């Protein structure tokens, strides 16, 4: 199942006291829908999921879905390194009307491939909602192998994968063995075009917060068969794709949202805000791309 071609993993806006700013979350959600996005992932890791509470997540799911309605799909980030916690959150997310779920490979625990299978199988069984898997070995320390994804794809409501392994051979193997209707998304903005070339569906983006329209132009060109224009967009946007990781995500993208009138606020510890050198770099980067 495809959730669309461009979804942004939304940051969680916070006020000066680092409380979740739900009004600004509504503002940001509308901004994303109006600038190239087919959907929004709420309370994923870009949304600081490890440091926001279950109650805050549920309220975010509710207000974002109420705000965008049928204009975009809303995917609830319900992943954690505790299976039971993910199951509980999945049920609560389903109750507030989200369109789907996304769960990251458990971090720190280092489960086996069988452990990964059982983890995601149990989450999928918790609700009838479509579930997107999220593989990001650089953050979780475990790489979910293609054979495990294939097993999971046999579960009817596991319908998609966000793949951020960074290895095109692994992406190729996934496309080779997975059912044709199983959607696969790049989990890294800079890998979007290479993964489209391998037959993938689209991108779960961070850069889409600030260059959603430009990314839409790149994907539209690709799917229209205009590969040269898509390549030109990729090369133009590449500095932004890479530069927004000058320090830990989501610190840079929260900073850059000021250019779009979004008060994204700071980040909760153990993350810290960008330092002046990083801010100067990001300001120059934004002017370079958008100027």
- Domain chopping of the chain, boundaries: 6-229
Give the SS3 label for residue 279: helix
Q: Is 107 exposed, middle or buried (0-12, 13-18, 19+ CB in 10 A)?
A: middle
Phi-psi region of 199 (alpha: psi -120 to 50; beta: other; left: phi over 0): left
Task: Please tell me the distance from the alpha carbon of residue 116 to that of residue 286, in angstroms, as a whole number.
Answer: 39
Kindly report whether the global pTM for this prediction surpasses the value 0.85: yes
d(CA 203, CA 215): 9
CATH architecture of the domain with residue range 6-229: Alpha-Beta Barrel (3.20)
Residues identified as active-site: 134, 162
What is the length of the chain?
291
Tens-level pLDDT at each residue, the chain (291 residues): 679 999 999 999 999 999 999 999 999 999 999 999 999 999 999 999 999 999 999 999 999 999 999 999 999 999 999 999 999 999 999 999 999 999 999 999 999 999 999 999 999 999 999 999 999 999 999 999 999 999 999 999 999 999 999 999 999 999 999 999 999 999 999 999 999 999 999 999 999 999 999 999 999 999 999 999 999 999 999 999 999 999 999 999 999 999 999 999 999 999 999 999 999 999 999 999 997
Q: CB atoms < 10 A from the CB of 177, how many?
A: 13
């Amino acid at each position: 199942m495809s959730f669309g071609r461009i979804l942004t993993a939304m940051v969680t806006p916070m006020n000066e006291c680092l409380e979740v700013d739900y009004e600004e979350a509504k503002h940001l959600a509308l901004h994303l829908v109006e600038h190239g996005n087919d959907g929004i992932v709420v309370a994923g890791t870009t949304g600081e999921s490890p440091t926001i509470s279950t109650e805050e997540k549920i309220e975010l799911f509710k207000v974002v879905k109420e705000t965008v309605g049928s204009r975009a799909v809303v995917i609830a980030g319900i992943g954690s390194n505790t299976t039971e916690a993910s199951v509980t959150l999945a049920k609560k997310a389903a109750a507030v009307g989200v369109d789907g779920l996304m769960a990251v490979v458990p971090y720190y625990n280092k489960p086996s491939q069988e452990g990964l299978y059982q983890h995601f199988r149990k989450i999928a069984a918790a609700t009838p909602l479509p579930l997107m898997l999220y593989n990001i070995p650089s953050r979780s320390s475990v790489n979910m192998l293609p054979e495990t994804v294939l097993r999971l794809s046999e579960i009817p409501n596991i319908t998609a994968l966000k793949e951020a392994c960074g290895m095109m051979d692994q992406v190729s193997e996934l496309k080779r063995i997975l059912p044709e209707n199983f959607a696969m998304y790049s989990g890294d903005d800079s890998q979007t075009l290479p993964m489209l070339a391998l037959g993938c569906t689209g991108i779960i983006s961070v850069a889409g917060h600030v260059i959603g329209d430009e990314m839409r132009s790149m994907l539209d060109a690709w799917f229209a068969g205009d590969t040269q224009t898509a390549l030109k967009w990729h090369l133009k946007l590449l500095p932004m794709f890479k530069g927004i990781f000058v320090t830990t995500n989501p610190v840079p993208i929260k900073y850059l949202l000021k250019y779009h009138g979004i008060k994204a606020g700071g980040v909760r510890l153990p993350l810290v805000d960008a330092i002046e050198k990083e801010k100067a770099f990001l300001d120059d980067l934004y002017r370079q791309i958008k100027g």
